[in-house]
Amino acid sequence: MGGNLMSMMGFVVLLCLWAVEVAEAAQYVKYKDSRQPIGARIKDLMNRMTVEEKIGQMTQIERKLASPDIMKKYFIGSVLSGGGSVPAPKASAETWINMVNELQKAALSTRLGIPMIYGIDAIHGHNNVYKATIFPHNVGLGVTRDPQLLKRIGAATALEVRATGIPYTFAPCIAVCRDPRWGRCYESYSEDHTIVQAMTEIIPGLQGDIPANSTRGVPFVTGKTKVVACAKHFVGDGGTVKGIDENNTVIDYNGLLSIHMPAYFDSIRKGVATVMVSYSSWNGNKMHANHDLVTGFLKDKLKFRGFVISDWQGIDRITDPPHSNYSYSVQAGVLSGIDMVMLPENFTEFIDDLTFQVKNNVIPMGRIDDAVKRILRVKFAMDLFENPLADLSLVNQLGSQEHRELAREAVRKSLVLLKNGIDSRPLLPLPKKLPKILVAGSHADNLGYQCGGWTIEWQGLGGNDLTVGTTILTAIKNTVDPSTQVVHNENPDANFVKSNNFSHAVVVVGEIPYAEVFGDSMNLTISEPGPSTIRNVCGSVKCVVVIISGRPVVVEPYVASIEALVAAWLPGTEGQGVADVLFGDYGFTGKLARTWFKSVDQLPMNVGDHYYNPLFPFGFGLTTNPTKGN
């Protein structure tokens, strides 16, 4: 009896073990197994997905439209913050994380639990977020010609973006701006593609270093401290006629390949995970509908294996006027090779139209599968399935002192000294010990002007309440000897200047913030009252004029009357970097990465042109040596 009981018990144990194994086998899902190759995981997941779930992956909606119910109902694959779109004014990192995680939990609760990817424009630091470090805009960074600096900025930006629970940035812009009248010229590193190519080193900073044996074109992101990057705007966005935003780039195929395409070769070689298509046209054909370049060249020839994303309402703008034939726009955009469509408003219309077209074979299922494979490849490559939710472990990285010091270094290296002294007597560096100096100009004590567009708000802001940082005025006060009297007057009249016995003056003037089409300018003048401030101050006292601008502007009429001229571009929150160099703690080293014209009538004018007669040529920049203990 005992023997029978023992054998029966053994049989029961075996039965239980078998039942556990069967249950485990039933629960085992290949796409959730991180030990499996990415290709196998993609294939397994794709085999389980409905058409509705696939189209959901291709849909990116604005956070204002997103809710847990929307995420679940439409299987939304991605959410974004447009410029200035925040969960609350001056929101903390924790508030951002909670918002992103709430939407992510909804995505994870769907049948297949595919995580969504949240994207944001972190184009000069995490620029939508209060207290983030705002780095100089690209126009200044190109001046540094320092790829390793760009890589460090990429790494710092990635940490700050991750600090708010976000894993994807729409950066870098690798446009080659050929005409400074373009309102996005400050998003371009240079008019010279070789500098833009070198600056793509920001991509391994953002995403991590690609392994030596990596297959070309395969997206690569290393873990929780890095973010997905986005090379944009494919292709030719910086070459439009007269620099008009979203306009037509007229250039032959060889010109497109030799000027506007090279930085894409470098970006893809460095594992960039996504590419954004340009609003602009090439020889009259909208890039958002250009199958030959998006699919034929980028995907097939360059072997890009990440996903292609549209710009904000980019497919709407395939037609003129925008959205006038939306079903055609959906068809043309998706068939061109766009994988994820950025939909700030009409996402249900997009889903309905695309679903109809797929079910009626207007768009083949193979095109949908290509798009979804690419999106999933990026999500698997960045370990989003393993780590879909953000925690609070990186919140102290937002605006950290280390990142601010890096931004300050970038400011120093991005300054270009265009003039220094009259009759070979240099004015700069200024001594720190002076009896009395005047700091004047609309931009001297204005953090918002110093940061430019794409800062907290899409178009930027004026004033000092937008975020945390150091204005140039504050930086000067921090730098000079305690005995030096610093007098600030934004726009002094000539009598004030003459009667106050100043030994020196620093005049900080330039452009007011703008972004995209709102920055297009046919005259490129310094904003009033800048010119009158220059005249009132520089006629009576030794002055250095610091230009805050997103591009070269008209200065030729003033150059003769001023002792020293500095191009500071859009330096960001760390104005201390300007004072560091003005007062000799560091020397000027920057060299123009853009041609500085005499008159707008000369535009477009770029280095290498047959007719080239600039005020300051490409590569120009005077240098100074640091002064010890001045």
Count CB atoms within 10 A of the CB of residue 497.
22
- Burial pattern 568-604, b for ≥16 Cβ within 10 A else e, equals bbbbbbbbbbbbbbbbbbbbbbbbbbbbbbbebeebb
For strands 416-420 and 543-548, give the pairing: unpaired
For strands 117-120 and 78-81, give the pairing: parallel
Which residue among the candidates 191, 311, 563, 574 is catalytic per the annotation? Answer: 311
Q: Residues in the chain, how many?
A: 630
- Between CA 354 and CA 367 the distance in angstroms is 11
- Between CA 519 and CA 513 the distance in angstroms is 8
- Between CA 556 and CA 601 the distance in angstroms is 13
CB 450 within 8 A of CB 572: yes
| 418-423-425 Cα angle (round to 5) | 75
- Cα–Cα distances (Å) from 25 to 29, 41, 74, 191, 539, in that order, read 8, 16, 30, 58, 85
Q: Which helix (H) or strand (E) holds 168?
A: strand 168-169
Nearest one of 279, 296, 297, 300 to 288, comparing CA atoms: 279
CB 618 within 8 A of CB 594: yes
Which residue among the candidates 192, 246, 516, 585 is catalytic per the annotation? Answer: 516
The two three-digit tokens of residue 120, written as one number: 């944001």
- Burial pattern 339-349, b for ≥16 Cβ within 10 A else e, equals bbbbbbebbee
For strands 168-169 and 274-277, give the pairing: unpaired
Catalytic annotation on 423?
no
Catalytic annotation on 311?
yes
- Cα–Cα distances (Å) from 591 to 141, 193, 295, 548, 616, in that order, read 11, 16, 38, 16, 10
The two three-digit tokens of residue 7, written as one number: 């054998």
DSSP notation for 392-428: STTGGGTT-HHHHHHHHHHHHHH-EEEEE-BTTB--P
3-state secondary structure 51-93: HHHHHHHCEEEECCCCCHHHHHHHCCCEEEECCCCCCCCCCCH
CB 437 within 8 A of CB 427: no
- Between CA 254 and CA 13 the distance in angstroms is 74
- Between CA 237 and CA 241 the distance in angstroms is 10
CB 294 within 8 A of CB 275: no
Q: What share of the chain is helix, strand, coil (3-state, %, to 5)?
A: 40, 15, 45
| Residues annotated catalytic, as ranges | 311, 516
